[in-house]
A and B are shown apart, each in its own frame.
Chain A
């Protein structure tokens, strides 16, 4: 995990449940990059990712009073974000597909003149390979290899059996291995 789960301290949770504005702002500051990261990897568009990430936090805000704390806050936020992304992809609500392609290039570092060409090429290939994965495999590989979640947490976030997480992750990595063959030593 990238950060300690200090956000799950009981006192902080109490403040959140009580509707403390400062506590909510702290929550957004702490998790904004993770929530946005999942959304942008899943949707491929910064504009759509921002929309979904904002919606995820607003849903969390509305549901905080009922949040019992059985799961970690991060797991709960990942679950909301993943569901929103998968729903959006399933309903074909893709208004910003072209912009998404631009975002992928930007994420790959093509707009940074100082970035090494080789690295840009590799990152572009990586992002393209991830974007081409089927959605149900993509979300697993994003949560595991980009966000660093353990298998159990991924199973909790996506409400899947552990075996399903394992097999989807294996398929996703095998697909990526074939697509990135030329970058492997």
Chain B
């Protein structure tokens, strides 16, 4: 047996865990090898140090915690947990989901001009679509700023039908219940919007500087 093989077995030799034949071989090697004897002594001292380590102790109350955790819950507690506990988890989750869906819907609506357009537009007739001016959005805004009354007044032949084209004659009576038009109003406003636009236009005209009014 060489030093390498002997050292591999030194730990088991110390623990008397070798079979008799192997033990005899290691003992014979140790007798003639001072270096391996020194190694055995160091190993023995290391094991002695390890065995001086104080045994760890479980914390106070450990037994009670384990036995309480192992104890089966009474049937009414289990039933209550099955019936009520899910709600405490489910309800807030559902509420959160609803809010998130609502926020997502608003976000998508805000980010999609086509959706906004279709939401504002009433069902339009074929001629309304045909005569809808293909102006840019900035044009619409500037026209609104100048006064919608003028814009509507310039258009003749406003129809009483909700889908009236811009060429329809404007009606004299304004629709008081109509909402005020916004700056990004569609190209073909409804009659009520136009009527309101007329009133709004007048108000806007009053706010115009004199030079603008003269124009």
Chain A residues packing against B (C-beta within 8 Å): 2, 21, 24-25, 28-29, 32-33, 35-37, 40-41, 46, 49-50, 53-54, 57-58, 61, 107, 109, 122-123, 126-127, 130, 141, 144-146, 150-151, 166-167, 169-170, 173-174, 176-177, 180, 183-185
Contacts and interface: CB of A to CB of B under 8 A. Distances in A.
Interface of B: 8-12, 15, 17, 42-43, 45-47, 49-59, 62-63, 65-67, 69-71
Contacts of B8: 167, 170
B63 A25 contact: yes
Contacts of A174: 11, 43
Contacts of B66: 28, 32, 53-54, 57-58
A185 B45 contact: yes
Contacts of A53: 58, 62, 66
A57 B69 CA distance: 10
A122 B49 contact: yes
B49 A36 contact: no
A94 B42 CA distance: 34
Contacts of B47: 145, 173
Nearest to A146: B53
Given A33-B56, A58-B69, A151-B15, 8 more contacts: A35-B58, A41-B56, A107-B56, A122-B52, A126-B49, A166-B12, A170-B11, A184-B42
Q: Is the interface of B mostly helix, strand, loop or mixed?
A: helix
Contacts of B12: 151, 166, 169-170
Contacts, number: 107
B46 A184 contact: yes
Given A141-B50, A166-B11, A61 B55 contact: no
A32 B46 contact: no
Given A21-B71, A36-B62, A58-B69, A173 B53 contact: no
24 contacts: A21-B71, A28-B63, A28-B67, A32-B66, A36-B56, A50-B59, A50-B62, A53-B62, A53-B66, A57-B66, A57-B70, A107-B56, A109-B54, A122-B49, A126-B52, A126-B53, A170-B10, A170-B11, A173-B43, A173-B47, A176-B50, A177-B45, A180-B49, A184-B46
A1 to B, nearest CB: 13
B100 to A, nearest CB: 30
Nearest to A126: B53
B55 A33 contact: yes
Contacts of A180: 46, 49
Nearest to A107: B56
B4 to A, nearest CB: 12
A53 B62 CA distance: 9
Nearest to B15: A151
A29 B63 contact: yes
